[in-house]
Amino acid sequence: MTLSSSEKETLLGLVGELGEVRFSEPMSAHTTLRVGGPVDAWIAPNTIDVAAAVRRFCTQTHIPCRAVGAGSNLLVLDEGVSGVLLSTQRLRGLHFLDEIDNKTPVCVEAGVSTGKLLAEAMRRGLGGVEFLGGVPGSIGGGLMMNAGTFVGEFRDVVSEVLTLNESGETVFRTHAACGFVYRGSAIPKTDIVVKARLLLSARPRADMETAVAALRMRRKEREPHGVGCAGSFFKNPPGDFAGRLIEACGLKGVRHGGAEISPVHANWFVNVGDAKAADFLSLIERAKTDVKARFGIGLDLEVKILGENEISSSQMPNIQD
């Protein structure tokens, strides 16, 4: 769709000086894969209240509105995106509260980077988020997909989550109501995560530093660097690893246009040149087809696909990565 002049003026007025609005913004500038066509409006509010106001207006005027975070787990199609993409990157509140029953509550907004949260927790000797040493991106996306590593996940530390529903209303959800599962949650697909409360425990800083250093070294040794990437493209199937299956099909190093199945790790698809989203879609289909033919296993995407012609409606929501 194309926003009317009056819709653009209203959006500019709602945000004012409390954020940024860009029209026809190329999403290649906002994804770690460095691909993606333009979105009608890219809006980065500084406050949750402004984000809520934009969400309400979009719902009232039937403008599609979805959230994006750091773009670290996102493939935006070449055709671009209709409507509004609400970036949570400027929601950066981070507050460590007084200890209660040997637990320290931490209030963290969606745009805080995983690295920032980890660094501040370590500085205070608070354990529980060491797994973030192997997780890029921002807190909002991490919560929505229950991001983690083999040493932990967000569900291990979340107490409650605050979201915005389609009407722009704030909704509190307890840990149980979030329904965290492997790389997913029961948070409604139409909601936008804006804030969370975590519970951390005291831990010797030396132990934390050792654990984080080991994760970062493992990441350095096993994953590609210096290229546009979006982390793991596929979820690990039960009892196996997507990277092992793709590698066993002889697909490491296979290229299509400027996209490549990394020779370092077969579950990382990377931009080695001027890749297009279509190049990645071709590699995705190749990997799924070959793994299914050889092992009878269907691979499910971990990366989220967004654009005018999403592969399926299931890829449209929960794109806050």
Residue 320 confidence (pLDDT): 61
Domains of the chain: 5-87 (3.30.43.10), 94-208 (3.30.465.10), 224-315 (3.90.78.10)
For 63-74, the pLDDT digits (tens) are 999 999 988 889
The edge-to-edge listing of strands for the beta sheet with 228-232 is 228-232, 268-271, 259-261, 255-256
Which of 2-11, 47-56, 211-220 is the least confident region? Answer: 211-220
Distance of CA 285 to the CA centre of its chain: 22
Placement of tokens 């009317």 in the chain: 4
Least confident of 147-151, 241-245, 311-315, 317-321: 311-315
Strand-pairing partners, residue 256, are 259
**Per-residue pLDDT tens digits for 266-285:** 999 999 989 999 999 999 99
User: What mean pLDDT, rounded, does the chain reach?
Assistant: 92
Residue 244 vs residue 310, higher pLDDT: 244
Looking at residue 186, the DSSP 8-state letter turns out to be: -
First to last CA, the chain: 24
Question: Which pair of tokens denotes residue 143?
Answer: 């919560």
At residue 308, does pLDDT exceed 70? no
Separation of alpha carbons 146 and 143, rounded Å: 5
Structure tokens at 175: 């840990």
Provide the token pair at 211: 């654990």
293, burial (CB in 10 Å: exposed 0-12, middle 13-18, buried 19+): exposed
Q: What is the pLDDT of residue 245?
A: 98
Closest CA to 92 of 114, 120, 112, 113: 112
Radius of gyration, CA atoms only, the chain = 20
Q: Which two tokens stand for residue 268?
A: 């990382």
Q: Does residue 318 carry a pLDDT above 50?
A: no
What is the three-class DSSP state of 307? coil
C-alpha angle with apex 34: 30 to 36, nearest 5 degrees?
A: 75
Residue 240 pLDDT > 50, yes or no?
A: yes
What's the angle, vertex CA 305, arms to CA 259 and CA 22, rounded to 5? 95
Q: Give the tens place of pLDDT for each residue, 132-147.
A: 997 888 999 889 889 8
pLDDT one-digit tens code per residue, 53-93: 999 999 999 999 999 998 888 999 999 999 999 999 999 99
Percent of the chain with pLDDT over 90: 82
Amino acid at 263: P
CA distance 138 to 110: 7
Positions annotated as catalytic residues are 183, 232, 302
Q: Is the pLDDT of residue 192 over 80?
A: yes
pLDDT at 321: 58
Whole-angstrom distance, CA of residue 318 vs CA of residue 93: 21
